[in-house]
Amino acid sequence: MLFRCRTVDNMGEVRTMVIPVFLPHAGCTARCIYCHQGYITGIDEKSLRERIDRVLGGRAEPCEVGLFGGNIFGVEPYDLERLFSYFIPYHGIIQGFRLSTKPVPLRDDTVDILKRNGVRLIELGIPTFNDAILAALNRAHTANDLFRAFDRLGGEKFRLALQFMVGLPGETMGDIEETVENMVRLRPEYIRIYPLVVLRNTPLYRLYEMGEFTPITFDEALERAALIYRKARQEGIDVVNVGLTDNEMVREMVAGGFYHPAFGSLVQSRVFRNALRSALGKIEDPQEATVVLHRNDIPLLVGYRRENLRFFGSLGINLSWDPSGAERGSFEVISGNERVKGRMIERGE
């Protein structure tokens, strides 16, 4: 799977393709309760070399390599040096590295190795900023560990991103609001939002089976993810992924939680629905309303399997649409003689 095509954007900047190399559980010394595999603390040289050769062999176009999965900071420095040595034959095309990791353990020699080997961007996983939930998840770090890592790595001129989760055991909307507050304060280059999925053969699955963990509703999970998504976009923070890909999980292992192959689209549709509901609230008794919007936003209005239309119908509002809008994310609601403009992401809230 390729994460980014090498294209020219509207500013004329060439964006380099990111080639992922997955390192499942490398550097993990503890197993998060939602993780469905055993953990590995070393690096299997033979299989890793084969994976690298498979994705990079024969390539001529410049690319960036993403090291994803596991906990790079937990890899011993000697093994980390060895890991980067496997990419030496491809230095002619590799323009840099990015990686994902827990925020601990952050060692000076690890930071030095990453800088010397061209790591440009680091994604730090922080499911929540609630230390009690982090402990229950067996994450083996605290929120303050994240803050310290973010400050240290930022001071070393690494570009930084954050990964969040929604629907965790014991999580409240207050925890989501705290996540939003810290995201705005830290201002990462981008974020990812993952929903909690209960996978078979995990400690979380055992809690789920015994009735000690009952997930929130799917609708509530969407609302929580939508809040993070909307605020990030409003603050100019990119959201590069919402939901889990098939590379990150095995569908047959799903026993509960919030997996949906179109989770990201559902979240965007929920953000649009909430914005439209706010606009409709400014109209007195809008039993019939037409939404003027960009044609590409029609799926966001209609919703998955027409869910949004049914939602507004339950409120006594019959919606139609006019795809003559000029700007994506903007819309106008017309009901009788009243007209109200709105945006999916309001600016300057």
- CATH classification at residue 229: 3.20.20.70
Mean pLDDT of 123-130: 98
pLDDT at 95 over 70: yes
Same-domain check for residues 253 and 290: no
Of 25-29, 285-289, 303-307, the one with minimum mean pLDDT is 25-29
Contact assessment for residue 124 and residue 101, using Cβ atoms and an 8 Å cutoff:
yes
**DSSP, res 4:** B
Of 57-66, 119-128, 182-191, the one with minimum mean pLDDT is 57-66
Mean pLDDT of 236-250: 80
Of 35-49, 61-75, 114-128, 258-272, the one with minimum mean pLDDT is 35-49
Of 43-47, 163-167, 194-198, 215-219, the one with minimum mean pLDDT is 43-47
Residue at 45 is within a domain: yes
Residue at 348 is within a domain: no
pLDDT at 303: 96
Q: Which residues contact 160 (CB under 8 A, 6 or more apart)?
A: 121, 122, 123, 124, 150, 153, 154, 186, 188, 189
pTM beyond cutoff 0.95 = no
Residue at 16 is within a domain: yes
pLDDT at 15: 62
pLDDT band for 75, please (50, 70, 90 cuts): very high
Of residues 180 and 5, more confidently modeled: 180
pLDDT at 9: 36
- Structural domain that includes position 311: 285-343
Contact assessment for residue 217 and residue 170, using Cβ atoms and an 8 Å cutoff:
no
Distance CA(235)–CA(230), nearest Å, equals 9
Residue at 274 is within a domain: no
Contact assessment for residue 260 and residue 251, using Cβ atoms and an 8 Å cutoff:
no
Give the residues across from 339 on adjacent strands: 334
Task: List phi, psi (to 5°) of 261.
Answer: -60, -20
pLDDT band for 36, please (50, 70, 90 cuts): confident
Q: Which of 199, 226, 261 is the last residue of a domain?
A: 261
Same-domain check for residues 47 and 139: yes
Residue at 273 is within a domain: no
pLDDT at 162 over 50: yes
Contact assessment for residue 175 and residue 129, using Cβ atoms and an 8 Å cutoff:
yes
- Of 186, 178, 203, 181, give the one whose Cα is nearest residue 39: 203
Mean per-residue pLDDT of the chain: 90
Same-domain check for residues 179 and 314: no
pLDDT at 235 over 70: yes
pLDDT at 332 over 60: yes
Q: Which of 191, 226, 261 is the last residue of a domain?
A: 261
pLDDT band for 14, please (50, 70, 90 cuts): very low
Residue at 279 is within a domain: no
Query: How many other β-carbons are positioned within 10 Å of the β-carbon of residue 203?
Result: 16
Of 129-143, 150-164, 245-259, the one with minimum mean pLDDT is 245-259
Same-domain check for residues 202 and 249: yes
Same-domain check for residues 130 and 252: yes
DSSP string, 185-229: HH--SEEEEEE-EEETTSHHHHHHHTTS--PPPHHHHHHHHHHHH
Same-domain check for residues 39 and 186: yes
Residue at 271 is within a domain: no
Same-domain check for residues 169 and 214: yes
pLDDT at 13: 44
Q: Name the domain count of the chain.
A: 2
Q: Which residues contact 62 (CB under 8 A, 6 or more apart)?
A: 6, 16, 17, 93, 94, 95
Mean pLDDT of 117-123: 97
Same-domain check for residues 220 and 311: no
pLDDT at 348 over 80: no
Mean pLDDT of 313-329: 97
Same-domain check for residues 12 and 54: yes
Distance CA(26)–CA(83), nearest Å, equals 11
E strand intervals along the chain: 7-8, 14-15, 17-22, 63-68, 94-101, 119-125, 159-166, 190-195, 197-199, 238-242, 254-257, 288-293, 318-322, 330-335, 338-343
Q: Which SS3 state, helix, strand or coil, does residue 325 take?
A: coil
pLDDT at 337 over 60: yes
Same-domain check for residues 240 and 334: no
- Of 55, 238, 204, 184, give the one whose Cα is nearest residue 133: 204
pLDDT at 122 over 60: yes
pLDDT at 19 over 80: yes
Same-domain check for residues 324 and 190: no
